[in-house]
């Protein structure tokens, strides 16, 4: 073992796992109070569900064997027979690589939860995630990241999950939203219900965790990991600032915290497939393009199309993921990563890589959309997908779980009911208040 690489990959694995509770805070802060528990539980519970699925069949279907370039086999249930101590090319054990990939299997289905909050039955979502993992996610991992995969063989470049994670989750979010139909109060802008500190907390956790996601995909301590760290940072900062300026000059003339956090996420998504292949300049333009495309979709095309993606899972992950995947074919360069078979269009490589990226992106969209639709249609024959109108009005926290979130002080004009900390515990604040009073 290379001990430096092993330590780095253990840290990266923990960071990717950290992203899922971060996403729970991000989504939980964007929904109304009556759906906070349902939203956060729906995201966080996937850490358990996806981990179990991965060790039972996921790793084997992703990386063991090969069936027509589309999927592996199921000969290694519970990873039995897998040589966990065999070293990879970067001298980390196969078992560690499997755990790192496990965390990708956790975060990916959590991403599309944001599209269906407030109206999907929890049991339907759980069953769907299981079938989706087996029939869509594991085949996508095999096609792109297994040497025998059909997309890998044509030369698809996906450093950390543009196709496998973000386009996959984004298209799934769009399909689920289309089948579910619009929310009862679709079009409402419940800004007064946002828990903005949670949104910022979740965004910060996601950005921190994303270094494990992107830099960790170098699978070792090397120049590619350093480059992925730099490009991730630059693309994210670019996208954040770009979204803020778009809000200031096109929407309501005011920068918003939700907008800044959304732009941050778009930058992280857009650079994911390209992180270890592009220069800082490439990262800047990918972050900018991802935000421009996602902003246009969320604020213009979404209403025109009429599909109710509640928290813009497709608008952010799907759109920015598509942009990042395609632009990798323009900006990738062997000067950053010598393992590339050639350069992108803007670095003298001609149209070859760009056309491959375009093919892989379109292929991913078609495969996920068709398979997702089939899974939903079959499941609808056996169980209801959407909660009834009464439960949707009540909120899924009580309807599905019998719990309520109490995350903020309820303000009231009745001063007998409202007491601030300063009023209730005035003795503890005498020092501070006394000094302020003298000033």
What's the Cα-to-Cα distance from 44 to each of 17, 23, 246, 318, 386, rounded to whole Å? 10, 8, 32, 21, 20
What is the mean predicted confidence (pLDDT) over 296-311?
Answer: 93
Structural domains of the chain, ranges and CATH numbers in brackets? 3-183+190-401 (1.10.3430.10)
Give 329-345 as a DSSP string.
Answer: HHH--TTT-TTSSS--G
Q: Is it the case that residue 192 has pLDDT exceeding 70?
A: no
Confidence of residue 425 (pLDDT cuts 50, 70, 90): low
H-state helical runs in 332-418 = 352-380, 389-394, 396
Q: Is it the case that residue 213 has pLDDT exceeding 50?
A: yes
Confidence of residue 191 (pLDDT cuts 50, 70, 90): very low
> What is the per-residue pLDDT for 33?
86
**Weakest mean pLDDT among 119-123, 131-135, 164-168, 189-193:** 189-193
Query: To the nearest whole percent, how much of the chain has pLDDT over 90?
Result: 84
The helix (H) or strand (E) run that includes residue 54 is: none
Q: Is it the case that residue 410 has pLDDT exceeding 70?
A: no
Tokens at 62, concatenated? 């992703």
> What is the per-residue pLDDT for 189?
52
Q: Which residues contact 342 (CB under 8 A, 6 or more apart)?
A: 334, 349, 350, 352, 353
Q: Is it the case that residue 407 has pLDDT exceeding 60?
A: no
Q: Is it the case that residue 421 has pLDDT exceeding 70?
A: no
> What is the per-residue pLDDT for 426?
54
Residue with tokens 């996602």: 294
Q: Is 204 exposed, middle or buried (0-12, 13-18, 19+ CB in 10 A)?
A: middle
Q: Is it the case that residue 151 has pLDDT exceeding 90?
A: yes
Q: Is it the case that residue 198 has pLDDT exceeding 60?
A: yes
> What is the per-residue pLDDT for 433?
47
Q: Is it the case that residue 427 has pLDDT exceeding 70?
A: no
Residue 90 contacts residue 81 (beta carbons within 8 Å): no
Confidence of residue 414 (pLDDT cuts 50, 70, 90): very low
Q: Is it the case that residue 89 has pLDDT exceeding 80?
A: yes
Rounded to the nearest 5°, which phi and psi values hold at 251?
A: -100, -80
> What is the per-residue pLDDT for 187?
60
Which of 245, 235, 297 has its CA nearest to residue 266?
Answer: 235
> What is the per-residue pLDDT for 413?
39
Give the whole-angstrom CA distance, residue 370 versus residue 366. Answer: 6
Query: To the nearest whole percent, how much of the chain has pLDDT over 70?
Result: 90
Q: Is it the case that residue 176 has pLDDT exceeding 50?
A: yes
**Weakest mean pLDDT among 68-77, 85-94, 400-409:** 400-409
Q: Write out pLDDT tens, residues 292-302.
A: 999 999 999 99
What is the mean predicted confidence (pLDDT) over 331-337?
Answer: 97
Q: Write out pLDDT tens, residues 214-259.
A: 999 999 999 999 999 999 999 999 999 999 999 999 867 899 999 9
> What is the per-residue pLDDT for 437?
47
> What is the per-residue pLDDT for 368?
98
Kindly report whether the global pTM for this prediction surpasses the value 0.75.
Answer: yes
For all residues of the chain together, what is the average pLDDT? 92
């Amino acid at each position: 073992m290379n001990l430096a690489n092993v330590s780095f990959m253990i840290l990266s694995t923990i960071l990717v796992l950290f992203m899922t509770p971060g996403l729970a805070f991000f989504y939980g802060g964007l929904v109304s109070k009556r759906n906070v528990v349902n939203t956060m539980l729906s995201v966080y519970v996937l850490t358990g569900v996806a981990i179990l699925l991965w060790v039972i069949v996921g790793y084997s279907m992703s990386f063991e064997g090969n069936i027509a370039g589309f999927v592996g086999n199921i000969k290694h249930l519970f990873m039995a027979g897998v040589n966990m101590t065999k070293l990879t090319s970067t001298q980390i054990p196969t078992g560690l690589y499997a755990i790192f990939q496990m965390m990708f299997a956790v975060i990916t289905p959590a991403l599309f939860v944001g599209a269906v909050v407030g109206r999907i039955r929890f049991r339907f979502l759980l069953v769907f995630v299981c079938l989706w993992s087996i029939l869509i996610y594991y085949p996508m991992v095999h096609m792109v990241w297994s040497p025998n995969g059909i997309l890998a063989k044509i030369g698809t470049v996906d450093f950390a999950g543009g196709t496998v994670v973000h386009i996959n989750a984004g298209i799934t979010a769009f399909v689920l939203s289309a089948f579910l139909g619009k929310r009862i109060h679709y079009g409402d802008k419940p800004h007064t219900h946002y828990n903005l500190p949670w949104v910022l907390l979740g965004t910060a956790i996601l950005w921190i965790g994303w270094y494990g996601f992107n830099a960790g995909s170098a699978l070792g301590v090397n120049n590619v990991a350093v480059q992925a760290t730099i490009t991730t940072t630059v693309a994210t900062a670019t996208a954040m600032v770009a979204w803020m300026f778009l809000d200031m000059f096109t929407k309501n003339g005011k920068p918003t915290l939700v907008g800044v956090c959304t732009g941050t996420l778009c930058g992280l998504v857009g650079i994911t497939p390209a992180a270890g292949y592009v220069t800082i300049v490439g990262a800047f333009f990918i972050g900018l393009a991802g935000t421009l495309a996602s902003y246009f979709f969320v604020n213009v095309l979404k209403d025109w199309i009429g599909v109710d993606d509640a928290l813009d899972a497709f608008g952010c992950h799907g759109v920015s993921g598509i942009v990042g995947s395609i632009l990798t074919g323009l900006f990738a360069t062997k000067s950053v990563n010598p393992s590339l078979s050639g350069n992108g269009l803007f670095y003298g490589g001609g149209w070859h890589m760009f056309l491959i990226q375009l093919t892989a992106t379109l292929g991913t969209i078609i495969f996920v959309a068709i398979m997702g639709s089939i899974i939903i249609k079959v499941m609808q024959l056996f169980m209801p997908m959407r909660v009834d109108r009464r439960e949707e009005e009540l909120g899924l926290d009580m309807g599905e779980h019998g719990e309520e979130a109490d995350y903020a002080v309820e303000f009231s004009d009745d001063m007998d009911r409202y007491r601030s900390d300063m009023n209730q515990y005035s003795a503890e604040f005498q020092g501070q208040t006394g000094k302020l009073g003298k000033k």
